[in-house]
Amino acid sequence: MSKKRLVMIGNGMAGIRTIEEILKLGPEMFEITIFGSEPHPNYNRIQLSTVLQGDAEVSDIILNDWNWYEENKITLYTGETIVKVDTKNQRVISNEGRITPYDELIFATGSSSLMLPLPGVDKKGVTGFRDIQDTETMMEAARQYKKAVVIGGGLLGLEAARGLLNLGMKVDVVHLVGHLMERQLDPIAGEMLKQELENQGMNFLLEKKTTEIFGDERVRGLRFTDGTEVEADLVVMAIGIVPNALLASESGVRVNRGIVVNDLMQTSIPHVYAVGECAEHREVTYGLVAPLYEQAKVLAEKVCHRKVLPYEGSVTGAQLKVAGVDLFSAGEITEDATSTVIRFHNEYAGVYKKVILRDNQIVGIVMYGDTKESTRLFRLMTLKEDISNLTDMELLQPIGAEGTHSINDMPDDEMVCGCNGVSKGDIVSAIHEHSLHSVEEVKGCTNAGRSCGRCKPIIADILEHTLGEEFDSSEQKVAMCGCTPLSHDEVVDEIKEKGLTTIKETMNVLAWQNEEGCTKCRPALNYYLGMVHPEYKDDRNSRLVNEKMHANIQKDGTYSVVPRMYGGVTTAQDLIRIGQVAEKYHIPLVKMTGGQRIALMGVKKEDLTAVWKELDMPSGYAYGKTLRTVKTCVGSTFCRFGTQDSMGLGQELERMFERLDTPHKVKMSVSACPRNCSESGIKDVGVVGIDGGWEIYVGGNGGTDLRAGDLLYTVKTKEELLEITRAFLQYYRETGHYLERTSKWVERFGLDHIKEVLENEAKRVELNARLSRTLERYEEPWSKILEDDTAQNNYYGKREVLTT
């Protein structure tokens, strides 16, 4: 039987979540085609505010990248709009004239910004706030102009205004009503919010109604009904949204405010569904993702012919994503004759809490300044629990210790991530089932934290509570060094999120306490920046002496020089040359190292460059946080037990990974049979040849804390071995802390987790690709220094001043 054709109009958050749910239920059921007007893959629209506020890049908010579509065999047309739906012949037609037939059709067209039909609304510099393009328009305007006016003092408007302030603009917010966010806040909370935002630099024009946008080609200002005017180089209209339902109504689908759907997300026409902001269910359209994701689930079950729990509507709670503002609101916001109110107001501390009750049930919540109790109260409200046995104070304050909402007291069904409908119980079982250790892993497994991100601190608490002893708080909490309170992971996240590219910038932006850092953080930052950005320019002066000098300093200030001998294999020619150099420069000690090569010890600093030149061999990096050596045994080439060409593979590995920066040094070895003459059991990556394949051991260490490696995989071919080894190394590079050997790292992450990552083909391919990009940047350091007179003078010169 051929697959059914599923077509989706709209490539946004609700639509793609529906597809994700469908893929979970029946990965092979449909041939999926998606059309999206925007030229992007599905991104997190909620985080546009964060992008505007300068805390994320567009690339950071992509939820499903291009690969995801490819891997799931989805045909995606971006930048293409469906203009006609022929429900009789079951096909859709795009603005490019593309005709696509369907068996099932889903409208997921979202909404558009509501633009007041004012004179001048089409001038340049007037925009809504809905998509990446609007955000870019605002960011572009902020580069050239000074003054912005936001029309609308609701959630969207205030988030836009905050962003524009961050971008250095002066911002007026025009609002029709006497207090801000009147749909979510009562006048008291609205006033508290206004004061906070005024302190942040916003200017409010309340109870003003705009009549005209004036200017030339570009906007210059706004005029109000009372005759007053304000200047504006940019006008952001954020007064509301309208469901994109026109296409549906033109196609004969029943539309009211949005596309009308029943509890199974079906529209008035068979085989046509709607989900998300464009859908109207029981006369309600929603503008927050939580209910849309519930709809997505129901719709997926329906089209996959699963048992469906009908969608019965949702109660939503709202927050504002502006730093310094902590507010929550849900349900009714003003009391009436039928309701009673419990109110707490501490003007001094700036805390306001109001709970509205009817028939012993919570029907409304407004909180400002302290929202710790919001999830608990919201849960009581959605479950319609009888609260008559709780005292007023218990309602407003946590039970037990003041101010701390212990994870222990939290019932399993309490919602942690409102956006994605993930409860504490879901998170706890995912932690156990998949042995998760970090918020990022929980996010990957459960979707919690994947939208507005507000729930991440609670997820971290749940992790800590669930893992107990195992939860390595040191790893999450310990600062990198005395120069910053941030941990290694936090610093790396910030580098990625804020797009930091140099050490200086990182220290500035992250408010380093010592202007130029110390011997702990400078090398670490230099590593992390290079790990995040393959094109990063290494800061040689932030490396410690050995890596800076490309030689190993000794106690008397001389250096050791260790050239490469790939796989521990050398030639008579090289040995002769080493001998000659040792003689010529009076090198006091020539020694076999524990890494199967030769060290020249006691070389004077000023002789280093000449020694390198005459050796004419690559640096063995015996000093680096990088691949040291790949030890090999003789293997099948000569040994009677050998099953594989261990020398050949060892040399290939050493050539592949030499010079690669890693969190700590990496040692490898290849033995050709389990007798293991090259000690593969105590290497970061140790390979053991067996009949018809290879075993790969990882996380071994022969140093201070002896640790036997764990068997990662047994593979049949060299190609598989290389792919796995490369992915393993890259995953270590991306997640290891600076100065953490693989032995510690494997224990921190757990072998199972690492295997899970490497077993995921997409991830493995990406890791390999990122590694390849990084490997391209390296050059042989000794020969490079020999070509660079300045570097020779700066680092290897010695000035002798003769006096008489």
Ligand X SMILES: Cc1cc2nc3c(=O)[nH]c(=O)nc-3n(C[C@H](O)[C@H](O)[C@H](O)COP(=O)(O)OP(=O)(O)OC[C@H]3O[C@@H](n4cnc5c(N)ncnc54)[C@H](O)[C@@H]3O)c2cc1C
- Rule CB under 6 A: is residue 288 a binding residue for ligand FES? no
Q: Report the distance separating Cα 426 and Cα 439, nearest Å.
A: 14
Q: Report the distance separating Cα 584 and Cα 604, nearest Å.
A: 13
User: Considering CB distances under 5 to 8 angstroms, the limit depending on partner class, which of ligand SF4, ligand X, ligand SRM, none binds residue 50?
Assistant: none
Give me the least distance between CB of 549 and ligand SRM, in Å please.
Answer: 12
The pairing of strands 203-206 and 170-175 is parallel
The kind and range of the H/E element at 532 are: helix 521-532
DSSP, collapsed to helix, strand or coil, labels residue 216 as: coil
**Which amino acid appears at position 630 of this protein?**
V
585-624 binders of other proteins (CB under 8 A): 605
Which residues have a Cβ under 8 Å from the Cβ of 276 and sit 6 or more positions away?
A: 10, 12, 13, 14, 15, 108, 109, 110, 292, 295, 296
User: Considering CB distances under 5 to 8 angstroms, the limit depending on partner class, which of ligand SRM, other proteins, ligand X, none binds residue 795?
Assistant: other proteins
Which of 22, 61, 106, 108 binds ligand X (CB under 6 A)? It is 108
**Which amino acid appears at position 254 of this protein?**
R
The kind and range of the H/E element at 742 are: helix 742-749
DSSP code, position 450: S
# residues near ligand SF4 by CB under 6 A = 13
User: Considering CB distances under 5 to 8 angstroms, the limit depending on partner class, which of ligand FES, ligand X, ligand SRM, none binds residue 11?
Assistant: ligand X
756-775 binders of ligand X (CB under 6 A): none
Give me the least distance between CB of 9 and ligand FES, in Å please.
Answer: 26
DSSP, collapsed to helix, strand or coil, labels residue 447 as: coil
# residues near ligand X by CB under 6 A = 36
Nearer to ligand SF4, 410 or 630 (CB): 630
Q: Which token pair is 333?
A: 């916001």
- Rule CB under 8 A: is residue 513 a binding residue for other proteins? no
Check whether 304 is labelled as a binding-site residue.
no
Which of 451, 542, 636, 742 binds ligand FES (CB under 6 A)? It is 451
The kind and range of the H/E element at 95 are: none
Binding range to ligand X, per CB under 6 A, among 223-231, 287-295, 429-437, 603-611: 287-295
Nearer to ligand X, 417 or 492 (CB): 417
Give me the least distance between CB of 574 and ligand SF4, in Å please.
Answer: 22
User: Considering CB distances under 5 to 8 angstroms, the limit depending on partner class, which of ligand X, other proteins, ligand FES, none binds residue 545?
Assistant: other proteins
Phi, psi of 16 (to 5 degrees): -70, -30
- Rule CB under 8 A: is residue 541 a binding residue for other proteins? yes
Cβ pair 339, 363 in contact under 8 A: yes
Give me the least distance between CB of 15 and ligand X, in Å please.
Answer: 5
Q: Is the dihedral of CA 481, 483, 487, 493 positive or negative?
A: negative
Give me the residues that bind ligand SRM (CB under 6 A), please. 552, 554, 560, 562, 591, 593-595, 597, 599, 622, 628-629, 667, 701-704, 741
Give me the least distance between CB of 622 and ligand SRM, in Å please.
Answer: 4
Check whether 445 is labelled as a binding-site residue.
no
Give the N- to C-terminal CA distance of the chain in Å, as an integer: 100
Q: Report the distance separating Cα 243 and Cα 278, nearest Å.
A: 5
Which residues have a Cβ under 8 Å from the Cβ of 143 and sit 6 or more positions away?
A: none
User: Considering CB distances under 5 to 8 angstroms, the limit depending on partner class, which of ligand SRM, ligand FES, ligand SF4, none binds residue 594?
Assistant: ligand SRM
Nearer to ligand SRM, 44 or 678 (CB): 678
Q: Report the distance separating Cα 84 and Cα 369, nearest Å.
A: 49
737-796 binders of other proteins (CB under 8 A): 793-795
- Rule CB under 6 A: is residue 417 a binding residue for ligand FES? yes
Q: Which token pair is 600?
A: 């020249």
Nearer to other proteins, 43 or 612 (CB): 612
Which residues have a Cβ under 8 Å from the Cβ of 355 and sit 6 or more positions away?
A: 341, 342, 343, 362, 364, 365, 377, 395, 396
673-712 binders of ligand SF4 (CB under 6 A): 673, 675-677
Cβ pair 262, 277 in contact under 8 A: no
Q: Which token pair is 449?
A: 């934290």
238-257 binders of ligand X (CB under 6 A): 244, 247
Which residues have a Cβ under 8 Å from the Cβ of 768 and sit 6 or more positions away?
A: 723, 726, 727, 730
- Rule CB under 6 A: is residue 453 a binding residue for ligand FES? yes
**Which amino acid appears at position 490 of this protein?**
E
Nearer to ligand SRM, 267 or 725 (CB): 725
147-166 binders of other proteins (CB under 8 A): none
Nearer to ligand FES, 241 or 455 (CB): 455
DSSP, collapsed to helix, strand or coil, labels residue 464 as: helix
Which of 514, 580, 717, 772 binds other proteins (CB under 8 A)? It is 514
Q: Report the distance separating Cα 605 and Cα 599, nearest Å.
A: 15
- Rule CB under 8 A: is residue 515 a binding residue for other proteins? yes
Nearer to other proteins, 307 or 798 (CB): 798
- Rule CB under 8 A: is residue 555 a binding residue for other proteins? yes
Binding mask 145-184 for ligand X (x = CB under 6 A): -----------x--x-------------------------
Binding mask 462-501 for other proteins (x = CB under 8 A): ----------------------------------------
User: Considering CB distances under 5 to 8 angstroms, the limit depending on partner class, which of ligand X, ligand FES, ligand SF4, none binds residue 633?
Assistant: ligand SF4
- For the stretch 503-510, contacts whose Cβ atoms lie closer than 8 Å and that sit 24 or more positions apart, written own/partner, are 503/529, 503/539, 503/542, 507/483, 510/484, 510/486
Q: Report the distance separating Cα 630 and Cα 666, nearest Å.
A: 9
Cβ pair 645, 635 in contact under 8 A: yes
User: Considering CB distances under 5 to 8 angstroms, the limit depending on partner class, which of ligand X, other proteins, ligand SRM, none binds residue 578?
Assistant: none
Check whether 483 is labelled as a binding-site residue.
no
From the centroid of its chain, how far is CA 248?
35
Cβ pair 699, 706 in contact under 8 A: no
Which of 452, 486, 549, 653 binds ligand FES (CB under 6 A)? It is 452
- Rule CB under 6 A: is residue 82 a binding residue for ligand X? yes
348-367 binders of ligand FES (CB under 6 A): none
Check whether 673 is labelled as a binding-site residue.
yes
User: Considering CB distances under 5 to 8 angstroms, the limit depending on partner class, which of other proteins, ligand FES, ligand X, none binds residue 797?
Assistant: other proteins
The pairing of strands 272-274 and 104-107 is parallel
Q: Report the distance separating Cα 742 and Cα 733, nearest Å.
A: 10
Place of tokens 């008397």: 556
Cβ pair 360, 388 in contact under 8 A: yes
Q: Which token pair is 728?
A: 């393993």
- Rule CB under 6 A: is residue 33 a binding residue for ligand X? no
Residues that bind other proteins (CB under 8 A): 514-519, 522-523, 541-542, 544-545, 548-549, 553, 555-557, 605, 793-795, 797-803
Annotated binding site for siroheme: 677
Annotated binding site for [4Fe-4S] cluster: 633, 639, 673, 677
Residues that bind ligand SF4 (CB under 6 A): 633-635, 639, 641-642, 646, 671-673, 675-677
Annotated binding site: 633, 639, 673, 677
Residues that bind ligand FES (CB under 6 A): 417-420, 448-455
